[in-house]
Amino acid sequence: MSRFGGDSLKKVAEYLRRGAKLTSEHCPICDSPLVRMEGKLFCPNCEKEVMIASSEEEFIDLSAKRELMNLKGVVTSKLRALTESLKRDEKVISTIKEYLEILEKIEKILITKEEKEVKEEKRSS
pLDDT on residue 1: 41
CA distance 82 to 76: 10
d(CA 8, CA 83): 38
Contact 40, 69 (CB under 8 A): no
Both 71 and 115 in a single domain?
yes
Domain containing residue 20: 1-52
Task: Supply the pTM of this predicted model.
Answer: 0.43
Q: In 1-125, which ranges are E strands?
A: 21-26, 33-37, 40-43, 48-50
From first to last of its 125 residues, the chain has per-residue pLDDT tens of 445 567 878 888 898 999 999 999 888 888 889 999 998 999 998 888 887 777 888 778 877 887 888 899 899 999 999 888 888 888 888 888 999 999 999 999 988 888 887 777 778 76
pLDDT at position 3? 56
Sheet hosting strand 33-37, strand order edge to edge: 21-26, 33-37, 40-43, 48-50
Alpha-carbon gap, residue 27 to 58, rounded angstroms:
17
Residues 17 and 59 in one domain: no
Q: Establish how many alpha carbons lie within 13 A of residue 125's alpha carbon, considering only the half-sphere containing its beta carbon.
A: 6
My answer on whether 65 and 113 are in the same domain is: yes
Collapsing DSSP to helix, strand or coil, 32 comes out as coil
In a domain, 125, yes or no: no
Does residue 63 share a domain with residue 27?
no
Answer yes or no: are the C-beta atoms of 28 and 34 closer than 8 Å: no
pLDDT for 5 equals: 61
Same domain, 42 and 79: no
How many structural domains are present in the chain? 2
